[in-house]
Chain A
């Protein structure tokens, strides 16, 4: 079985934009970017976009001759697959290492040093703490509406020159089965190759206390670089409040809290974005404790693993500043979530196969 990749094309329009497109199992995958930044057609962006989806389907990637890739990139992909093949059970699927068949080309030769402009806080933290002078701020305009909220950084002078890539890569990768937490690979690795970068720093949030397997994402991103492109995950390991503390002195440093996805006019308080905003607010209030005392009832309800990580970070922050009251409230919120998880597990144990119960471990 293979994913059929066909009809690769690169068309430059009158406005000076290059559109790189191809068909994947009949579905059109496209990238649109300024012509001057775009190198000739190569296979690396395509492999990066489809690798996880192909692993999930267990289908080989066979690239047409017009999309050559370097041997070093292929070796990096195989190393990345060696890491990701262990993540299947956590995403409820099989991730099987696959074959990539492509014409071999010389390594990609990039010119620019870029940073991924993504989630507001992580990007600001990366830019604040980095010693590197970036000449490209890579901005991906996605056709995936659920991810659009992340690309909301206002244009400010202190940001590196922004270069935009408009693409449906996330939508296609998602439809083909890429788990959401692994869309980073499709989004950033493919566009880094398209934007002629020699280095890309990807701000990432994954504190050490979060044991999810995507903690290995920095390694996967790095291995999918190669001789002509170094990819690094930056900001890994730091907690959100450490990042907030680092950027809170900047103008707009902490103002870009996630918008409600349910109501445009007000916060619904229960959607994922509202819960994130609420945790951010809790952390911020703790950081500014001296200026504004804690309001009661601001500890949000934990509903998923991301919230749980937020809450644990909050516990560490509360301990750090010695706020025992908030620590206790966060702890009891965590305990309620753990009980709800326990009942879910018990139901699974009683009602489903034993395999399923083991697989959730």
Chain B
């Protein structure tokens, strides 16, 4: 893989950094890019994993130099990924390197989607002069037209938090979908790429998990700091808090809570009935409040609806903390319902594990994307 045609050009509104990788023009646009950042490390951030998935040498020699310290971290980053997924291969990276200029941690940046993790990161670990990085083209394809689309609610929330938004628009998601790479695997590289281009002294990546379960994921408390350069320190923040802890902290300021956007379904409001909305609402109801949601979703029995969800899919990973919260709130009825949901979850896991043990190959062949958590050989043993 040999990225070439690296360009940095002025647009009527901001700047555009682009590079051609295997015929695909990958671009990033923003009004907030730092003038003294070359951008080669951003290309490295997004292209390392695709190159590993294809088992090809990554030749960045056509690009400006990357910091030596980042180059030195690449074996460790590759080590993590190759251990997490047997389909990824260690590759050679060819690049010019430079010592890099160390800076102080001025001008910090926090990745910001307007959701619970990001809002909590700003409230609990933010700094007064930080900018909030919002990426148009991260979860969905970038908005059409020449200007990025910022959900009104995200803009209002940033204003409530008294922070400036730094918006980056990119077609990265189109590229990774074309390469059949999962978002869970690759999103860390995209975040650090945008962070490098903004040139902040520190990039904070809000955590979505706790120290209780460090599952392989594109962002990870031990992996993210390896992406640090002399100019930009990468910080993974928030693993010390559970989801319910974070919601409780946010709920202390009702004006901030009113603008939190947790819903993937609608860009400007919370539908109130999807899994993420119900998860947030259930915690808030147990804490004695609720989320601002669409009017027709206001009157449903949130706790009953979410308890049913808890027994399904990945929501079950929140079961323990919700059970604890329900007990703390003294809600015996919900505690009992959640315990029953726990029984169903345990049975579902048992059946799922049995299926994976009996037919590991058919399970693997169904996974079309290159993703994390393969462990190659079926279910993991329980922790002890």
Name A's B-contacting residues (CB within 8 A): 79, 82-87, 89-90, 92, 207-209, 211-213, 215-216, 218-219, 236-239, 242, 304-305, 308, 312, 315-316, 319, 331, 334-335, 337-339, 341-342, 345-346, 349, 354-355, 357-361
Contacts and interface: CB of A to CB of B under 8 A. Distances in A.
B211 A86 contact: yes
B212 A89 contact: yes
Contacts of A342: 350, 353-354, 357, 379
Interface string B348-364: 01100110010000000
Nearest to A91: B384
A357 B346 CA distance: 6
A109 B186 CA distance: 43
A132 B27 CA distance: 42
Given A213-B211, A354-B342, A358-B342, A90 B83 contact: no
B383 interface: yes
Contacts of A209: 83-84, 375
A339 B384 CA distance: 16
A210 B361 CA distance: 22
A361 B382 contact: yes
Given A82-B240, A316-B83, A334 B346 contact: no
Interface stretch (B36-44, B74-82, B95-103, B111-119): B74-82
Contact of B80 (A90, A237, A334): A237
Interface of B: 76, 79-80, 82-84, 86, 210-216, 221-222, 239-240, 242, 316, 319-320, 323, 339-340, 342-343, 345-347, 349-350, 353-354, 357, 375-384
A216 B211 contact: yes
B303 to A, nearest CB: 18
A338 B381 contact: yes
Contact of A358 (B86, B210, B240, B319): B319
B221 A219 contact: yes
A259 B347 CA distance: 41
A211 B346 contact: no
Given A209-B84, A361-B346, 11 more contacts: A86-B212, A86-B239, A90-B212, A208-B216, A209-B83, A215-B214, A218-B222, A304-B384, A312-B375, A339-B357, A342-B353
Given A312-B375, A331-B377, A338-B379, A357 B343 contact: yes
Nearest to A220: B211
A81 to B, nearest CB: 9
Contacts of B212: 86-87, 89-90, 213
B346 A305 contact: no
A360 B383 CA distance: 7
Chain B CB count within 10 A is highest, among A79, A341, A361, for A361
The 10 closest A-B pairs by CB, nearest first: A357-B346, A82-B240, A86-B212, A354-B343, A358-B342, A209-B83, A208-B83, A86-B211, A208-B80, A341-B381
Contacts, number: 135
B339 A354 contact: yes
A157 to B, nearest CB: 29
Contacts of A211: 213-216, 380, 383
B339 A208 contact: no
A131 to B, nearest CB: 11
A291 B217 CA distance: 39
A354 B340 contact: yes
Given A335-B378, A338-B378, A342-B350, A213 B86 contact: no
Nearest to B81: A208
A358 B216 contact: no
Contacts of A355: 323, 339, 342
Contacts of B215: 211
A216 B349 CA distance: 26
| Chain A interface, >50% SS class | helix
A207 B222 CA distance: 12
24 contacts: A86-B211, A90-B384, A208-B216, A209-B84, A211-B214, A211-B216, A211-B383, A212-B383, A238-B79, A305-B384, A316-B86, A335-B357, A337-B381, A342-B350, A342-B357, A345-B382, A349-B343, A349-B346, A349-B350, A354-B346, A358-B342, A359-B320, A360-B384, A361-B382
A242 B83 CA distance: 12
A223 B242 CA distance: 20
Contacts of B222: 215-216, 218-219, 236-237
A49 B130 CA distance: 39
Nearest to B211: A86
A348 to B, nearest CB: 8
B344 to A, nearest CB: 9
A319 B376 CA distance: 12
A342 B210 CA distance: 26
A212 B343 CA distance: 23
Contacts of A218: 222
Contacts of B80: 208, 237
A361 B357 contact: no
A89 B342 CA distance: 15
A87 B215 CA distance: 14
Chain A CB count within 10 A is highest, among B82, B242, B323, for B82
A44 to B, nearest CB: 22
Contact of A335 (B84, B214, B377): B377
Given A89-B212, A346-B350, A315 B342 contact: no
Nearest to B239: A83
Contacts of B239: 83, 86, 216
Contacts of A338: 353, 357, 377-379, 381
B208 to A, nearest CB: 14
Nearest to B373: A211
A357 B347 CA distance: 9
Given A209-B83, A342-B350, A92 B384 contact: yes
A305 B339 CA distance: 27
A84 B80 CA distance: 22
Contacts of B346: 345, 349, 354, 357-358, 361
Given A211-B215, A349-B350, A237 B357 contact: no
A87 B383 CA distance: 11
Contacts of A339: 357
B383 A83 contact: no
B320 A358 contact: yes
B79 A237 contact: yes
B141 to A, nearest CB: 32
Given A86-B211, A305-B381, A207 B83 contact: yes
A86 B214 CA distance: 11
B79 A358 contact: no
A357 B342 contact: yes
A319 B86 contact: yes
A339 B125 CA distance: 44
Contacts of A346: 350
